[in-house]
Amino acid sequence: MSHRIDALAHGNRLKILPPGHKLAFATALLLLALVAPLTVQLIISFWLALWIVGYAGIPPGIYLSMLLLPLGLTISSLPAIIINVVGHESLPGVQADIWGSSSRTMAGWSLYLSKQGLSQATELLTRTLAATSTMFFLLLTTPLNELVQVLRKLGMPPLLLELMVHIYGFIFTLWKIVDDITVAQRARSGYGTWQQSIASLGLLIGQLLERSISSYRGLSMGMAARGFQGELRVLASSHHRPSRRHQVEAISGCALLGALSIMGLR
């Protein structure tokens, strides 16, 4: 997956745009996504999908599969927000918050779907979608080495840049390790029964810890052998060309979304 994402970041149709422009665009939309009302958040998500799939040429299947992971984690947390539990004697006090006729009483406790919870869950889901879309826009259209160069010019501390580069690499390293171990376990029917699945999961976690530590040691030794002295140096291409059409669309779109957000928050 790491090689596929890197290949898309280096080969997409927006690669020619200056990375600073893309970072500013994504930052502005991220800030809007955090404070804008629900409708604006949805517009941001669909607009970024147009940029990623339409303008950058990222395959829709890949973009959708990447969105499913954070959205799946968010959806799994929504029942805790939507479903409320109160004592049976407290049920009359929350009648206004009950959605429809969803109240159910069991063993002296009442479960119901909360109107406020549904509203909060909807807002959380749309905000997650919009904020994640801004991050994926940067990830899929801007190579990491170019992003590091821009952040260095903006004065970000070298330690944070180093951590960012290492974490980016280790995420995909661990992903590859998990994938290899899982394939080997499935080939040996390691997930045939519930007991086998639990045992295989335990072995997977143990092997993941061992191999990740070994990978980290190898990386540390390699960097020390190459004379690492506390600051990463990355190469970045300077062959970038601003696009007036994209600039006009980005600026006018952000201004319009900002105006809609102010109107919606009043």
Q: What is the pLDDT of residues 36-46, one digit of tens each?
A: 899 999 999 99
Q: What pLDDT is stored for residue 169 in this prediction? A: 74
CA separation (Å) from 46 to 43, 98, 129, 134, 168? 5, 32, 10, 11, 26
CA separation (Å) from 7 to 13, 58, 140, 143? 12, 11, 9, 9
Which stretch of DSSP H or E encloses residue 109?
A: strand 109-113
Condensed to tens digits (0 to 9), the pLDDT of residues 218-230 reads: 767 776 776 666 6
The strand order across the sheet containing 83-87 reads: 83-87, 109-113, 104-106
Q: What pLDDT is stored for residue 230 in this prediction? A: 60
Over residues 219-244, mean pLDDT? 70
pLDDT band at 26 (very low <50, low <70, confident <90, very high): very high
Condensed to tens digits (0 to 9), the pLDDT of residues 168-222 reads: 777 777 777 777 788 877 777 777 777 777 877 787 777 777 777 777 777 677 7
* 21, 242 contact by CB (below 8 A): yes
